[in-house]
Structure 1
Amino acid sequence: MDTHSLRTRAEALLRALAGDDALLRDDQWRAIEALVAERRRALVVQRTGWGKSAVYFVATALLREYGEGPTVIVSPLLALMRNQIEAARRAGIAAVTMNSANQQDWDDVQASIAEGTVDVLLVSPERLNNPDFRDAVLPKLAATAGLLVVDEAHCISDWGHDFRPDYRRLRTLIADLPDGVPVLATTATANDRVVADVADQVVPGAASGSDGALVLRGPLDRESLRLAVVTLPTPQARLAWLAERLDELPGSGIIYTLTVAAAHDIATFLRDRGFAVAAYTGKTEPGERLQAEQELLNNEVKALVATSALGMGFDKPDLGFVVHVGAPSSPIAYYQQIGRAGRGVHRAEVILLPGQEDEAIWEYFASLSFPREDLVTQVLRALEGQEKPLSTAALEPMVELSRSRLELVLKVLDVDGAVRRVKGGWEATGQGWHYDAERYERVARARRAERSAIREYIESDGCRMEFLLRQLDDPHAAPCGRCDNCTGERWSADIDASAVEATGERLARPGVEIMPRRQWPTGLGSLGVSLSGRIKADERAEPGRALGRLTDIGWGSRLREVLGTGAADGPVPAAMFDACVRVLAEWDWEQRPVAVAGLPSSTRPTLVTSLVERLAAVGRLRGLGFLELRGAVRRANSALRVADLSERVALPTAMANSLASLDGPVLLVDDYTDTGWTLTLATRLLRSAGAPAVLPFTLATTN
């Protein structure tokens, strides 16, 4: 087929995909021509909504007409997969997916691939290292694929703002492809460093150009977006402002938050004010997520109050606004999130409401970066010499890492070739491995620079869109003429004082439920602790209460003043104690407590003692004193923490002797709870000594 005929056919396929009025953009055609006619490898960096998916679907249809094998699309999120499958079907392209949510369909999908009836297979990057998929499916796909597509390709790069270890496996997959198999990498958020890094990985060892990847970069500005920053002094002022202005925002949209707790708090607050909104986070059940997405697509809600879990891949062309309550730590991540808005409308409002607490949240997430060398070495040593693979759960008690950080380490070691995921768990490969401290520090420096840049964005009096585009090294960056700084048209920061006061009262409403642990961590037997399975009902606490979360919009800042690192020890503040009494008064317990016991604090003894003694006096509770907690507990994973606590927590004899005579629950008081294991072990001791029930109560919870 000559070039003219190929383009004519490509235009027809595009119309089937996107509508009768659709025309190929010049760079869309250049990418399709490179993939289909020249069998090249390409990197397309274009703004969200530009039509990157049209490139790979049209190229797929053309390659299939030439008799080539199916396209493999590595795609990061299930939401993106759902949208892409539906788009493909509209163009007559048979698309299927293999992911954790449809495992029951895998055999049918593999059979369809073998029969040649599948045009597109979408997989998540995590799926590439599932042992069954990696060993049984992936080699055949790599050998027969007609096209490989890497969506959200910035994730391949260490420099990408959303570094995901699983994406680094693609380097090996790309290198192992047969000659002549085209590769397309796409992203909307890549600066010069990311572009160079990704291009090098698409064509290893060759610079972009005739021998390397074809790089197509277009202007990233979207003329529909109206950027603004509104600086308000307090959390209650920000929420009062949001509630007053939400009806003024066009259509439906997304309200982004930095934490799961904030998403739920803001959603609850707005629902109380009569708005149809729903919370959407990484902890939301998949079915609820899908329902929430559909409600937003159908304009059945004014907004989803979401964390970054609602990001790559969500496609709603008429999304009218994006508001951030709290600034993301990266201007590039911010640009990607605001890119959800304004794809198919003339004007979309983009508003940032920064908060003083944002930097503390950034620092917390930065602390969860790649662990120290000694902790990584623990993982390798634990796997070396094992006769059979170890599951993550079995490995956890042997290392001083939480489950989430252990999984991160294993993924990185796997990609680097030091460990291997097999049926039954993980095994060491015996290959040499060194801790790349320089690389991890390089990434950390980049993250610090990003945090500095977002501060500059907030304070800037220049064009906001131009600032973001320069962060992305967009050569077309120029003043947009639309943002608040360009036009001088600003959202007023004025709020009715009574609305701020009412919001403050709502945020100050105390009380968060603490759900008791119900299952012992696995692997305790290997640590000499004879606890396993479900926690017995007669050793378990009742649901407890905390005054608030450390990350709460309302109580969080006040709790951090008392419990934060470096906070001075002293009696519980009067207002905080009054709020504790209110929580206890509103607690819907089956039976009122008759006694109170405390857990000692090595850092805040005066605070905890005053809280226990005052609760005993106000509630007319029998004071049992304090349990013993000998030495500092290791803050590692659950198994090590429980093993440590089982040796360190004890009941004084006097307390043990008093419990058998009680005719009601014990109120168990601590300053804060993090994992819940200290309360769990203390409860087990109290119940075993005769306490009829235990009601945990803390000033704060981290969850």
Structure 2
Amino acid sequence: MEHTNPGDLRAAADAVLARLVGAPDGTARLREDQWRAIEALVAHRRRALVVQRTGWGKSAVYFVATALLRARGSGPTVIVSPLLALMRNQVDAAARAGIHARTINSSNTEEWETVQAEVAAGNVDVLLVSPERLNNPDFRDQVLPALSAATGLLVVDEAHCISDWGHDFRPDYRRLRTMLTELPAGVPVLATTATANARVTADVAEQLGTGSGSDALVLRGPLNRESLSLGVLHLPDAAHRLAWLADHLDRLPGSGIVYTLTVAAAEEVTAFLRQRGHTVASYTGRTEDADRRQAEEDLLANRVKALVATSALGMGFDKPDLGFVVHLGSPSSPIAYYQQVGRAGRGVAQAEVLLLPGREDQAIWDYFASVAFPREELVRRTIDVLSASDRPLSLPALEPLVELRRSRLETMLKVLDVDGSVRRVKGGWVATGEPWVYDTERYARVAKQRDAEQQAMRDYATTSGCRMKFLQLQLDDETAAPCGRCDNCAGPRFTAEMSPASLAAARGELHRAGVEVEPRRMWPTGLPAVGVELKGRIPAQEQAFPGRALGRLSDIGWGNRLRPMLAEQAPDGPVPDDVLDAVVGVLADWAKGPGGWASGEPGAAPRPAAVVTVASRARPQLVESLGRRIAEVGRMPMLGSVTYAPEALDVRISRTNSAQRVRGLDAALTVPPAVARELVSLDGPVLLVDDFSDSGWTLAMATRLLRRAGAKGVFPLVLAVAG
């Protein structure tokens, strides 16, 4: 324990705060709980959990503590931080207080060696690392032990990610339990979050005490955000929501964030708002890192009115004067919603927060829930494959051998790694031989909690009570009371009015049909390992031409029409007239567009000469009627279908793993002799019609068969694509 005079320590802490916030010495004072946390970390070398509302100043706690500890000869502070936006903000903030901060994350791999050398030389005060780094073999085995031994303060930011009771559990964060155990005695630890209810708080506090021999200090404050004016506006459909936003965006204070539930929706909304004269930028998981940086800088400098973002901007973006947050569609959890709206109003007296829920929200929640932790048999299959291998298996090598898409496979392996049954090493993954138990109770509990959170979000949208109080109670804040500012407390501040011109433009945009479908050009890796001798580039003479889809299932235009029609339990039936009319419109635009067969351009694609469908086991009426009616409209012969071999009709073909899917389709699909005979005599390519394309491999394999049977070319046409 330090013996510094508490008064001297407090004065030194306030002086660091003044530098951090750019205030003259003597005019900045720490909040009482900020000081209690700093005193615990610096004077008593304790472990502390700070649960405080967004904008309260949690980062000030660890930067002030860092400066004080470094002045006393402690090693560097290590901050485990989940998002690049947060890291960039933190480096800039630290510099203001004279603290030299560096980062190690996926966007600066070329700097890692330099940063590690600077840390070793004692020239770095703060090292920010992403949780994924903790389980990188080189970092975990070569850097982490020395870093743990030298760390002066460990900070776990967004600490709710540690707990699988939380809304945003991340398996990489579970690696922190090991790091906490291995820290030398007397190294203080700080965990911070704004989104932990009582259960998550208790869970994180328990994990925080691991290896320390004492309980963590928990500082939990009221979560009311006095600057936020919450509201909900119910509008009939996506077109009305888009039109309302276009008409009202400039009336919202300052600059802000418009959240959407999917990448496709973010891109759609961005394009429409730009057409209506607004300066906005898109920010999603698909945005390149350089473009993300530019978007962040543009919002910070008020060069854009808004970022149209997915939850990729959910944590850590810090703009004190952010004036509004609008959600087009409800997040699936009120806790996640509280976190996202907390980006606004940190440094202004009032910020507008508005939710525009959509009828499609539940379908989008269901989709994201469907890609949760895999079934037990798939997990055991993965462990068995690793156990049988005499060498580490990389993700590309492992993927063809198990029925999981790469992203789900990687997440599952991270969980198994923390559980101890597999280990990530140089070259891939290995089984440890440790027994593994499928935690049925845990996954059922998480699923039940997810359902309860979704119902709570529906209740938030329809409550007649105070909305801020509702969110506080969801976070078990016992100080919750009516806020006096939300639309239910003080009356609505926005009406549903919008201009007929904006509504017509929104309807036109959302009803605009047509998405390009890029053909597959490379075979998935590892096919020879599953008995299919295909690898490398797909021969040009076996590839499809670029195709078209009516829409994406994830968009807010045609996606809303197609999603229920193509749902797993949806009844089969002939193609609806409005859908057929839209498909015909897509074909007409396609034909007249650049390089299209009716464009009149030199070297334009040849006109399709016939229609072939892909036989559907789920929706045979829909696909057959779609193909037949397109053939009638286009005055082309309907040749028949690429069919499933009789022995494959009841065989399940993977929808999640590319190599397994290609293997299944290679054995299952066939071109009937009658169709093959017609193909040879055709003067032009065929239009290949299906209902839905997810991975693109059904179209690729059907195209390969048609080309090998004599087709002059293949144009794929589907109702919907997934992405």
- Please report the TM-score for the alignment, with normalisation by the length of structure 2: 0.95
Unaligned runs of 5+ in 2: 597-603
List aligned pairs for 1:233-244, cutoff 5 A: 233-244=236-247
Separation in 1 of the partners of 2:324 and 2:201? 29
Q: Return the offset for 1:324.
A: 0.5
Work out the CA distance in 2 between the residues paired with 1:194 and 1:429.
Answer: 30
| Equivalent residue letter for 2:551 | G
Alignment partner of 1:154 is 2:160: yes
Q: How many Å separate the matches in 2 of 1:51 and 1:568?
A: 53
Q: Contact 1:594/1:622 (CA < 8 Å) preserved in 2?
A: yes
3-state DSSP of counterpart to 2:585: helix
Identity %: 65
Once the two structures are TM-superposed, the CA of residue 505 in structure 1 deviates from its matched residue by 2.7
For 2:599, the equivalent position in structure 1 comes to: none
In the alignment, is the contact (CA less than 8 A) between 1:463 and 1:480 conserved in 2? yes
Alignment partner for residue 355 of structure 1, among 346, 358, 367?
358
1:567-646 correspondence to structure 2 within 5 Å: 567-587=570-590, 588=593, 589=596, 590-591=604-605, 592-630=607-645, 631=649, 632-646=652-666
1:367-446 to structure 2, matched below 5 A, reads 367-446=370-449
Look up the match of 2:259.
Answer: 256
Q: Which residue of 2 aligns with 1:123?
A: 129
Per the TM alignment, residue 560 of structure 1 is displaced from its structure 2 partner at its CA by 2.7
Q: Which runs of 4+ in 1 moved over 6 A?
A: none
Give 1:515's aligned residue. Answer: 518
One-letter identity of the residue aligned with 1:296:
L
Aligned partner of 1:55 among 58, 61, 65: 61
Q: CA deviation at 1:183?
A: 0.3
Amino acid at match of 1:336: Q
Distance in 1 (CA, whole Å) between partners of 2:586 and 2:362 is 30
Q: Which residue of 1 aligns with 2:494?
A: 491
- Of the candidates 95, 103, 124, which is equivalent to residue 101 of structure 2? 95
Match of 2:600 in 1: none
Distance 1:203 1:315 in 2: 29
1:679 equivalent in alignment to 2:679: no
Q: Do structure 1's residue 107 and structure 2's residue 100 form an aligned pair?
A: no
- Deviation, 1:564, is 2.1
Q: Which residue of 2 aligns with 1:225?
A: 228
CA offsets per residue over residues 376-400 of structure 1, 9 Å max, x none? 1111111113211001111111112
Deviation of the 1:645 alpha carbon: 0.5
Shift of 1:538: 2.0
Question: Number of residues paired by the alignment?
Answer: 700
Q: Report the counterpart of residue 78 of structure 1 in structure 2.
A: 84
Say if 2:178 is the partner of 1:175.
no
> Secondary structure at the residue paired with 1:384?
helix
Deviation at 1:578, TM superposition (A): 1.2
Q: Is the contact between residue 388 and residue 427 of structure 1 (CA under 8 Å) also seen in structure 2?
A: yes
Deviates more, 1:563-572 or 1:545-554: 563-572
Rounded Cα–Cα distance in structure 1 between residues aligned with 2:28 and 2:637: 77
Q: Is the 8 A contact 1:225 1:349 kept in 2?
A: yes
Distance 2:505 2:140 in 1: 56
Residue aligned with 1:116, SS: coil
Structure 1 contact 200–206 (Cα < 8 Å) conserved: no
Q: Which amino acid is 1:697 matched to?
A: L
Paired with 1:488 and 1:241, the residues of 2 have a C-alpha distance of: 19
2:710 match: secondary structure: coil
Are the aligned partners of 2:22 and 2:96 in contact in 1 as well (CA < 8 Å)?
Answer: no
Measure how far apart 1:299 and its partner are.
Answer: 1.3
How far is 1:116 from its partner?
Answer: 1.0
Q: Which deviates more from structure 2 when the two are superposed, residues 324-333 or residues 300-309? A: 300-309
1:237-268 deviation line (CA, Å, top 9, x unaligned): 22122222112111111111111111111112
Gaps of 5+ in 1: none
Secondary structure of the residue that 1:586 maps to in structure 2? helix
User: What's the CA shift for 1:57?
Assistant: 1.0
Letter in 2 for 1:308: S
1:40 lines up with 2:46 in the alignment: yes
Change (3 A) 1:78 1:201: same
Deviations 1:525-563 (A, max 9, x none): 011101112222222112111011122212123213432
Alignment correspondent of 2:552: 549
Distance 2:552 2:397 in 1: 31
Would you say the 8 A contact 1:159–1:193 is kept in 2? yes
Does the 8 Å contact 2:473/2:480 carry over to 1? yes
Among candidates 671, 676, 681, match of residue 656 of structure 1: 676
* AA partner of residue 685 (structure 2): P
The 1:9–1:205 alpha-carbon spacing in structure 2 relative to 1, beyond 3 Å, is closer
Question: Using the alignment, how far apart are the partners of 2:572 and 2:201 within structure 1?
Answer: 51
**The 10-residue stretch of structure 1 (235-244 or 625-634) with the greater mean CA deviation from structure 2:** 625-634
Q: Is the 8 A contact 2:231 2:354 kept in 1?
A: yes
In 2: Cα distance, 1:125 partner to 1:435 partner? 24
- Residues 604-657 of structure 1 show CA distances to partners (whole Å, capped at 9, x for unaligned) of 222211211221122122332211123252323111001000111111223223
1:285 correspondence with 2:291: no
- Residues of 1 paired with 2:653 and 2:119: CA distance? 53
Q: Does 1:689 align with 2:709?
A: yes
Matching residue of 1:192 = 198
Indicate how the Cα distance of structure 1 residues 206 and 437 shifts in structure 2: closer, same or farther if over 3 A, else same: farther
2:312 equivalent to 1:312: no
> Do the aligned partners of 1:73 and 1:123 also contact (CA within 8 Å) in 2?
yes
What letter corresponds to residue 57 of structure 1 in structure 2? F
CA contact (8 A) 1:40 1:183 kept: yes
Structure 1 CA distance, aligned partners of 2:665 and 2:85?
A: 42
Secondary structure (helix, strand or coil) at the match of 2:287 reads: coil
* 329-338 or 515-524, which deviates more: 515-524
Aligned residue identity for 2:683: D
Distance, in Å, in 1 between the alignment partners of 2:297 and 2:36 is 35
Partner AA of 1:89 in structure 2: A
Aligned to 1:559: 562
Contact 2:180 2:211 in 1 (8 A): no
* Deviation sequence 1:105-130 (CA, Å, 0-9, x none): 11111111111111111100000000
**What is the alpha-carbon distance in structure 1 between the residues aligned to residue 533 and residue 715 of structure 2?**
25
Cα distance in 1 for partners of 2:267, 2:220 equals 38
- Match of 1:101, SS? coil
Q: For 1:620 and 1:436, locate their aligned partners in 2 and report how far apart those are by CA, in whole Å.
A: 58
